[in-house]
Amino acid sequence: MSGNFFGGLDFGTSGARISIIDLHKELVYSNSVPYLDKFENPNSWINSCKKLLDSLPNNVKSNLQKLAISGTSGTLLASNLNGEPIGEAIPYHQACSEHKILLESLTSGEEYLRTPYSSLAKALNLIDKYGTNILLRHQSDWITGWFLKDWTHGEEGNNFKLGWDLTKESWPKSYLNTSWQKCLPQIIKSGKIVGEVNSDLAKRFNLNKKLILISGTTDSNASLIAANLGKEDGLTVLGTTIVIKKIINNPINEQGITTHKVSGDWICGGASNAGCGILSKFYSDQEIKELSRQINPSNNSFLNLLPLNSKGERFPINNANLEPILGPRPVSDSLYLHALFEGLANIELKGWEKLRELTGSLPKKIITVGGGSKNPQWRRIREKIINIPIVSCYKTTSFGTALLAINSN
């Protein structure tokens, strides 16, 4: 490997991954590591990041020109003014219902913020806990700050759930006279230069001293970039949770729906609290592979499960008290896995029906990324239930983040 390189780091629910591409946008190196501590601990993210940086080939380190970072959408943490985390982050899937009245008073016209899963609800929780002499930063913005040793900025898409208006390019007017406005980041568009890597950090990992950090995006937006989504396509991310997205003409203001701008297109979508996370509670990856071979996708399991990872749902139903339905469990492990696949496919179907209700159309085909995209039996079950052709894309989220880095300006 020689020449100039561009990197993408993605921080998911269970671990971190790096992709390195060359000037021709070809993948030249990738690696992933699991978190050694729980997801909510920001030190887990940094320790995984250090491992990935240490393992990079030397010629990649010295010729790495630009690096972008993506992370889970809506995972928020408080840090002190020096960027050091205070306590644990509040993960994307956690509802914060303590400040409902204050939340509603701050969001008269912003329906999408009026949910206990919004970053604003989480921010009010953190401010109540730690006061206003803090920084509020999302996962990928905070990690970008770690590379720079400067936590001033936040990327627009990550901060949509905190209240950043992508059309007006401003925070809501209701934030202006609050004591915590100073806790918010200065917003920068996705794919823009944020700054140069901190010299001490570059020295520690033998990185190019002129390495430029690019403002990143959310993990699902990075997946969308990797999948090269067309105007009539839909995207389903089958990771720990299920995320669906499609291109739209105008932004949508609705509870449980996120609207982003990616590569000049408006994108709307939603994220369920169900996904591969529930499968890993019952089976190992190898067991899923072996049991899947015993499933006939043409048959029905005749079990009606609602396989949420835990209590509460964000999309297609916005209900923090919704309970999972995981039984009755049959004796046959393959039949139970079949039922879980069907339950997840039904959630995805309801998601697409919700987006059709809001946008007027369904996608002509669905491109699927994430770990679940590799399972052919699940794909056939999804096609039968959703009744839309499905294709798998094996390019990773971190590859999409690397594309964001190389296309930056």
For residues 109 and 206, state if they share a domain: yes
Q: How far apart, in whole angstroms, are the C-alpha atoms of residue 398 and residue 11? A: 9
For residues 53 and 150, state if they share a domain: yes
For residues 126 and 168, state if they share a domain: yes
Which residue, 270, 277, 275, is CA-closest to 234?
270
The alpha-helical segments, DSSP class H, found in 228-284 are 276-282
For residues 162 and 189, state if they share a domain: yes
For residues 202 and 316, state if they share a domain: no
Instruction: Give per-residue pLDDT as tens, 114-166.
Output: 899 999 999 999 999 999 999 999 999 999 999 999 999 999 999 999 999 99
Give residue 342's pLDDT: 98
Indicate the Cα dihedral angle 398, 403, 404, 407, nearest 10°: 170
Give residue 29's pLDDT: 98
For residues 172 and 36, state if they share a domain: yes
* pLDDT of 85 higher than 80: yes
Give residue 369's pLDDT: 92
For residues 307 and 198, state if they share a domain: no
Cα atoms in the Cβ-side hemisphere of radius 13 Å centred on 297: 15
Indicate the Cα dihedral angle 59, 62, 65, 66, nearest 10°: 90
Residue count of the chain, please give it: 409
Instruction: Give per-residue pLDDT as tens, 210-228.
Output: 999 999 999 999 999 999 9
Residue 271 sits in which domain range?
A: 228-393
Whether the CB-CB separation of 225 and 215 falls below 8 Å is answered with: no
Give residue 3's pLDDT: 79
* pLDDT of 82 higher than 90: yes
The alpha-helical segments, DSSP class H, found in 131-232 are 139-148, 199-205, 219-227
Total domains present in the chain: 2
CB-based burial label for 205 (10 Å; 0-12, 13-18, 19+): middle
Give residue 108's pLDDT: 79
CB-based burial label for 69 (10 Å; 0-12, 13-18, 19+): buried
Q: Which residues contact 16 (CB under 8 A, 6 or more apart)?
A: 9, 10, 32, 33, 35, 45, 48, 49, 52
Give the DSSP H/E element, type plus range, for residue 250: none
- From 28-32, 298-302, 326-330, 370-374, the region with the lowest mean pLDDT: 370-374
Residue 302 maps to which CATH number?
A: 3.30.420.40
* pLDDT of 40 higher than 80: yes
Q: Indicate the average pLDDT of the chain.
A: 94
Tokens of 350: 């309801």
Q: How far apart, in whole angstroms, are the C-alpha atoms of residue 270 and residue 309? A: 16
Give residue 306's pLDDT: 97
For residues 162 and 238, state if they share a domain: no
- Report, as an integer, the average pLDDT of 99-122: 89
Give residue 2's pLDDT: 62
For residues 198 and 313, state if they share a domain: no
Q: Output the CA–CA distances (angstroms, integers) from residue 402 to 104, 180, 321, 344, 392, in the order listed.
A: 38, 34, 38, 30, 20
For residues 209 and 261, state if they share a domain: no
Q: Which residues contact 141 (CB under 8 A, 6 or more apart)?
A: 71, 151, 153, 154, 155, 158, 159, 185, 216
* pLDDT of 390 higher than 70: yes
For residues 177 and 234, state if they share a domain: no
For residues 185 and 265, state if they share a domain: no
Instruction: Give per-residue pLDDT as tens, 304-345.
Output: 999 999 999 999 998 989 999 999 999 999 999 999 999 999
